[in-house]
Amino acid sequence: MSASAPLLCGLCAALLIPLSAQAETSYVTDQLEVGLRAGGSTRYKVIKMLPSGTPLEVLGVNRTTKYAQVKTLDGAVGFVPADQLQTEPAARNRVAALEARLAELQQSPDALSARLAKAQSERTELAARNQDLVQKSNLLEQQLATIRHASANVLEVTTDRERLRVQVADLTRAQAELEQENRDLKNQTNLRWFLIGAGVLVGGILLGLILPRLRLRQRKNTWGTL
């Protein structure tokens, strides 16, 4: 490097916009690789190559040379062209994340189907228990009627009647709780299916919006290299 290199480094540092207090994260664009240089021009050596999508902390931007001073996650500091940075991750990374999420959502209905079958089985069991409680309640009512007619002891009849009324009240309350559980299970199942459908729909829309843009950008890059 020539003797004027330190002077040029000092000048570049003086022209950098101080952003240490408001450091932001940018990403290498969808190009294959970008060179991280020791200074703010192509005359400086390349420290390392940065693959597409590499997250960088922007320390400052030289308005004259259009180079940004950046810092990698492993602590390397250097310069890259400012026009090679973008505020969002690479499109192919976003597409990969969306595809993974879509695959997850597509697998979820199978798991939910198993849970739905289990919920339906539990609902059937609860219905059977409810029917059993109704039968027991009817039996208790019959016993109460028999006691009323068969017993000559008013006090004993009153005591037995009160006991049976308490049992009937308990059974009625248990029946109401079971019916509420049935309604809750049905509402939860409907909500899960709704969320699955909404997630799959949103994922498909996002893929439909991003994939055409990615193909268009790749075509533009291909024409630009010709």
Summary mean pLDDT of the chain: 76
Torsion angle (degrees, nearest 10) of CA 28, 30, 33, 35: -40
The answer to whether residues 86 and 26 touch, using CB atoms and an 8 Å cutoff, is: yes
More confident residue, 75 or 201: 75
pLDDT tens-digit readout, 87-111: 776 555 555 566 667 666 666 666 6
Q: Which residue in 104, 112, 24 sits closest to 69, CA to CA?
A: 24
What is the β-pairing status of strands 55-62 and 67-71? antiparallel
Cα–Cα distances in angstroms (integers) from residue 2 to residues 5, 175, 187, 207, in the given order: 5, 91, 76, 51
Query: In this structure, which long-range contacts are made by residues 204-211, counting pairs with CB atoms below 8 Å and at least 24 apart in sequence?
Result: 204/102, 206/98, 207/95, 207/98, 207/99, 207/102, 210/91, 210/94, 210/95, 210/98, 211/95
Return the exposure string of 36-63: e unless at least 16 CB atoms fall within 10 Å of the residue's CB, then b.
bbbbbeeebeeeeebebbbebbbbbbbe
pLDDT tens-digit readout, 110-165: 666 777 788 888 888 888 888 888 888 888 888 887 777 766 666 666 777 888 88
Cα–Cα distances in angstroms (integers) from residue 133 to residues 130, 143, 167, in the given order: 5, 15, 11
Distance CA 158, CA 161 (A): 5
Q: Tell me the pTM.
A: 0.32
Domains of the chain with CATH codes: 8-89 (2.30.30.40), 92-225 (1.10.287.1700)
Q: At 35, list the tokens.
A: 């060179």
Q: How confident is the model at residue 16 (pLDDT cuts 50, 70, 90)?
A: very low
Distance CA 36, CA 46 (A): 6
DSSP 1-26: --TTHHHHHHHHHHHBPP-GGG-EEE
